[in-house]
Amino acid sequence: MSEIKIILVDDHQIVRDGIKALLSDSLNIKVIGEVKSAYELFDLLKTQIPDIVLLDVSLPTMSGIEVSKILSSDFPKIKKLMLSMYTSEDFIFNAIKSGVNGYLPKNITRNELLQAINEVSEGREYFSKTISDTILKSYLKSAKYGNNVSDDKLCKLTKRENEILLYVVEGLHNKDIAEKLYISIRTVETHKTNIMHKLNLNGTVDLVKFAIKNNIIEL
Amino acid sequence: MSEIKIILVDDHQIVRDGIKALLSDSLNIKVIGEVKSAYELFDLLKTQIPDIVLLDVSLPTMSGIEVSKILSSDFPKIKKLMLSMYTSEDFIFNAIKSGVNGYLPKNITRNELLQAINEVSEGREYFSKTISDTILKSYLKSAKYGNNVSDDKLCKLTKRENEILLYVVEGLHNKDIAEKLYISIRTVETHKTNIMHKLNLNGTVDLVKFAIKNNIIEL
DNA sequence: AATAATATACGTGTTTTACGTAGTTTTACA
DNA sequence: TGTAAAACTACGTAAAACACGTATATTATT
């Protein structure tokens, strides 16, 4: 069994340190690098090519899912293991679509992490129980009701809609947004309505949650 | 220098394992226990008394801040070091009020963690840069504008208000809430208005963020 | 040149929010 | 036990936001 080379991507140093410490016990796994953002990762990849990238979903500026997409197209040989606090359908769906080889919630045990790394490094996929449950549930739902749940929602929004979404979830009122963008309140309303429809959301409350889940705003 | 006994409280096993691994290198620090919830902690405290409890803010059922309060009154000798993803004023304020001896964001380095533990164990307080900056900013603001920012906001809400807040941030509309509780829509509106005023919030968007920050809802 | 996508905006009716007022229960405590 | 404070209930009115349909000018795309 050859050595498995890993790069960690997580913006919390303590998490990186922690995982590193965990993995240091395993003889066949070696952390060859650790970075806290997408940019640093791509920089590092110029000199170091790992077998697996351990990716946190929530990263500053560019989300783990974006990173995964780029890795899939530019470094198809590198395996991607996603690590996330969040286990919602949207996340998992988009992660899988982005080409990850595995998805783990952050409350996994050390052994599960090791197993996931080994599975993935041997070309198989690894989704922990919580995740596969969610996938199953989603699958059943879509089979029953025929709604193909999550398309790649965010990509469906236009530039303007994204811009307005941002202002909305920052707490600005329609009037403020209208003034800021020199457009009519009615236009803002229209955009908002369209956003809601495209994202299949129910109201402001869901919109805010969506924005946080998708890293559009910080708490 | 005698040995510092620590209990970890965090619902993510990987974080616990990580911190444990980190601390295992330090000769004078020993993790004598690790739990994933408040209940388990209080159970453990029947047999094991640590010098420091390393507390995550976001815990299931009972928040780290609640735990800290109870520890402060029932185990005044145990030091409390709070560890959190969130660095907002509210959190810090309530944490300090609950009696913590230090507050660390989760993106600290290993060395900072060690320093914090040592400082706290010797009876001093430790707040990392990010945190003390926030405190300073808040202090300046309140000095300038005289508004004493964060009272213990959540405690100011009545039972009914909390109940309604919960429904609101789950995405229910006023009508639904009214029906659910067998009261008039106007009453729901009144409660909502009062909640906003008490919490000093600007609109639904802020309300949702507040709820997430304060662990009232999960994402 | 025809078509689709985007950004703009209005009409109408419903719902929510802001702010003030106020009656009825509960709760606290002197 | 009596009374004051707090909590829960609810309405009026005006402004803002939302849902849904419709519509026009501008920009790609093909």
pLDDT in tens, B39-87: 889 889 999 999 999 998 877 666 788 888 888 878 888 999 998 877 7
Q: Taking CB atoms and an 8 Å limit, are B109 and A205 in contact across chains?
A: no
A111 reaches B (C-beta below 8 A): no
In a domain? residue B209: yes
In a domain? residue B146: no
Distance in angstroms, CA of A198 to C1' of C19?
35
A196 reaches B (C-beta below 8 A): no
pLDDT at A143 over 70: no
Whether residue B34 sits in one domain with residue B102: yes
On average, the pLDDT of chain A sits at 81
Q: How many domains does chain B have?
A: 2
Looking at chain A, which residue has its C-alpha nearest residue B173?
A203
DSSP A104: E
pLDDT at A157 over 50: yes
pLDDT at A141 over 60: no
Three-class SS state of A46? coil
Whether residue A90 sits in one domain with residue A123: yes
Of residues B205, B208, B104, B137, the one with CA closest to residue B166: B208
Q: How confident is the model at residue A155 (pLDDT cuts 50, 70, 90)?
A: low
Q: Taking CB atoms and an 8 Å limit, are A212 and B212 in contact across chains?
A: yes
**A176, closest nucleotide (Cα–C1'):** D16
Whether residue A24 sits in one domain with residue A131: yes
A20: amino acid identity, one letter: K
DSSP B63: -
Whether residue A167 sits in one domain with residue A124: no
B168 reaches A (C-beta below 8 A): yes
Whether residue A104 sits in one domain with residue A14: yes
Q: How far are the Cα atoms of A7, A70, B213 from residue B65, in angstroms, in the given order?
A: 35, 40, 12
pLDDT of res. A50: 94
Whether residue B97 sits in one domain with residue B183: no
pLDDT at A39 over 60: yes
**B190, closest nucleotide (Cα–C1'):** D10
The two structure tokens encoding residue B125: 């307080």
Of residues B125, B110, B102, B83, the one with CA closest to residue B24: B110
pLDDT at A181 over 60: yes
Q: Given B86, B107, B208, which is nearest A205 (Cβ)?
A: B208
Q: How confident is the model at residue B145 (pLDDT cuts 50, 70, 90)?
A: very low
Distance, in Å, from the CA atom of B81 to the CA atom of B53, rounded to the nearest integer, reads 6
Whether residue A116 sits in one domain with residue A162: no
Whether residue B161 sits in one domain with residue B136: no
pLDDT of res. A96: 78
Q: What angle, rounded to 10 degrees, do the helices at B13-24 and A110-121 form?
A: 100
Q: Given B106, B173, B202, which is nearest A171 (Cβ)?
A: B202
Whether residue A167 sits in one domain with residue A85: no
Mean pLDDT confidence for B210-218 = 77
A146 reaches B (C-beta below 8 A): no
- Asked whether the beta carbons of A122 and A163 are under 8 A apart, the reply is no
Q: How confident is the model at residue B143 (pLDDT cuts 50, 70, 90)?
A: very low
- Asked whether the beta carbons of A214 and A57 are under 8 A apart, the reply is no
A18 reaches B (C-beta below 8 A): yes
pLDDT in tens, A106-138: 778 888 889 899 989 998 888 887 777 776 566
Whether residue A24 sits in one domain with residue A122: yes
Partnered with residue A83 across adjacent β-strands are A56, A104
Among the residue ranges B43-47, B132-136, B191-195, the one predicted with the least confidence is: B132-136
pLDDT of res. A128: 82
pLDDT in tens, A14-31: 888 888 888 888 889 999
Contacts of A203 in chain B (CB under 8 A): 171, 173, 204
Q: What's the CATH number where B93 sits? A: 3.40.50.2300
Question: Considering A117, A141, A165, which residue would you say is the last residue of a domain?
Answer: A141
pLDDT at B20 over 70: yes
Q: Taking CB atoms and an 8 Å limit, are A208 and B213 in contact across chains?
A: no
Domain interval for residue A96: 4-141
In a domain? residue B80: yes
In a domain? residue A204: yes
DSSP B122: T
pLDDT of res. B61: 65
Question: Considering A141, A166, A191, which residue would you say is the last residue of a domain?
Answer: A141
Say how many CA atoms lie within 13 Å of A174 toward its Cβ. Answer: 11
Contacts of A17 in chain B (CB under 8 A): 18, 22, 109-110
Integer distance in angstroms from the first to the last C-alpha of chain A? 44
pLDDT at B97 over 80: no
Question: Considering A141, A164, A180, which residue would you say is the last residue of a domain?
Answer: A141
